[in-house]
């Protein structure tokens, strides 16, 4: 699942389409103005001799230039304001899916509310949305100002601590789109990415149902994974991470109940494969220096067991 390029001019949602439209109108007008100015400049440079024009004619020409410029700018202003007003076409729409997005240094926590507390889904750095359905994002920050930005879907929206905001997005076609924190938020701001996975409604519902399940019971785990779980609960992991259905219930770090089902590790920094998972668990600071994940100095066998456990959390 490779994400698309993060190109704002290949819109996949109504807001991004409007923004792209405003961009292209501005681009076309600016191009015409540029060419006209260059042509007039060339004319002035190439014309032989001094200008033979009386004072009133010269003034009329200047006035004409002023009026044309003002009209062009007013036209662009109208396009821009209209584009801004139409940015929220889903306000008051029915069948809206609400997702809470919490920005943390330096990853994204995602809450899909349920009808009961045990129906709520908590995941990280991978926003699954159904295609063609408006999604209301409640944007919350737990530490500093972050900014939610998926170029293919919408413009940027800041997450301000103590001042929650909302925005709508909608994916019109299935795909994987890369998002990124767009407001400098500290050492690892550049490594604070996420994926938006737009999928058909039934695939989305199947994913949601899978995410609602607690972690697999210990009896279904391999011997290594069982040892890994023991290590997880005995050492530092348990102080920050949650694995639903076990004793690990902390909420400081990403929820790991279904960590193996995600595409990336550490907020889009690494592909989620065994060798990278092992490196991240052993020495996260070599991947994201300054991140709040401390090193886990375990022996090689212990690390293998721990990684086997994490890989079993599908």
Partner 1 sequence: MKLPRLALLATATVMMTTAPACQHETHDVRPSAEVSQAGPGVVLSTLFAGGVPSAIAGTLQANQENAFAMNEGKRLFDAYNCSGCHAHGGGAIGPALMDAKWIYGSAPQNVYDTIVEGRPNGMPSFRGKIPDFQVAQLVAYVRSMSGLAGGFWAPGRNDSMQVKPGENTVSTEAPVRAPGAPPP
Question: In the complex, which residues of this chain contact partner 1 (CB under 8 A)?
Answer: 143, 161, 234-236, 238-240, 252, 285-286, 289-290, 292, 294-297
Least distance CB 302 / partner 1 (angstroms): 12
Q: Which is nearer to partner 1, 90 or 298 (CB)?
A: 298
Distance CA 192, CA 185 (A): 9
Task: Report whether 238 contacts 232 (CB < 8 A).
Answer: yes
**Cβ atoms of residues 216 and 312 within 8 Å:** yes
Least separation in angstroms between CB 94 and partner 1: 38
Shortest Å distance, C-beta 147 to partner 1? 18
Write out the DSSP string of 198-240: EE-HHHHHHHHHHHHS-PPPGGGS-HHHHHHHHHHHHSGGGGT
> Is 168 within 8 Å of 101 (Cβ atoms)?
no
Question: Which is closer to partner 1, CB of 94 or CB of 234?
Answer: 234
What is the Cα–Cα distance from 261 to 249, expressed in whole angstroms? 19
Shorter beta-carbon distance to partner 1: residue 206 or 252: 252
CB of 232 to partner 1, least distance (A): 12
- Give min distance, CB of 93 to partner 1, in A: 35
Whichever of 113 and 289 has its CB closer to partner 1, that residue is: 289
Q: Which two tokens stand for residue 167?
A: 């925005």
Q: Which is nearer to partner 1, 96 or 160 (CB)?
A: 160
Residue with tokens 């919490």, as numbered in its chain: 102
Nearer to partner 1, 170 or 291 (CB): 291
Q: How far apart are CA 188 and CA 299, in angstroms?
A: 28
- Token pair 């996420």 is found at 194
Largest alpha-carbon pair distance within the chain? 98
Q: Name which of 204, 125, 136 is nearest 169 in CA terms.
A: 136
CB of 309 to partner 1, least distance (A): 17
């Amino acid at each position: 699942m490779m994400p698309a390029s993060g190109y704002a001019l290949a819109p996949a949602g109504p807001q991004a389409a409007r923004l792209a439209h405003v961009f292209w109108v501005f681009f076309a007008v600016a191009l015409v103005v540029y060419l006209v100015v260059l042509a007039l400049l060339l004319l002035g440079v190439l014309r032989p001799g001094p200008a033979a024009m009386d004072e009133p004619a010269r003034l009329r020409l200047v006035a004409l230039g002023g009026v044309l410029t003002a009209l062009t700018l007013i036209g662009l202003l109208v396009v821009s304001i209209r584009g801004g007003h139409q940015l929220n076409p889903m306000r008051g729409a029915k069948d809206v899916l609400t997702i809470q997005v919490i920005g943390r240094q330096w990853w994204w926590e995602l809450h899909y509310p349920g009808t009961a507390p045990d129906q709520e889904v908590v995941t990280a750095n991978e926003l699954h949305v159904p295609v063609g359905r408006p999604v209301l994002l409640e944007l919350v920050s737990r530490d500093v100002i972050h900014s939610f930005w998926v170029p293919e879907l919408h413009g940027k929206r800041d997450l301000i601590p103590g001042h929650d905001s909302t925005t709508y997005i909608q994916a019109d076609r299935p795909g994987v789109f890369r998002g990124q924190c767009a407001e400098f938020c500290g050492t690892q701001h550049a490594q604070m990415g996420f994926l938006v996975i737009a999928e058909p409604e039934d695939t989305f519902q199947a994913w949601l149902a899978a995410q609602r399940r607690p972690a697999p019971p210990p009896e279904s785990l391999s011997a290594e994974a069982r040892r890994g779980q023991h290590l997880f609960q005995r050492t530092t992991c348990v102080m920050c991470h949650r694995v639903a259905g076990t004793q690990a219930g902390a909420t400081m770090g990403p929820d790991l109940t279904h960590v193996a089902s995600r595409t990336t590790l550490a907020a889009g920094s690494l592909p989620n494969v065994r060798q990278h998972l092992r490196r991240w668990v052993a020495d996260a600071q070599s991947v994201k220096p300054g991140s709040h994940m401390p090193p886990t100095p375990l022996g090689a066998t212990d690390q293998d067991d721990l990684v086997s456990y994490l890989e079993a959390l599908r």
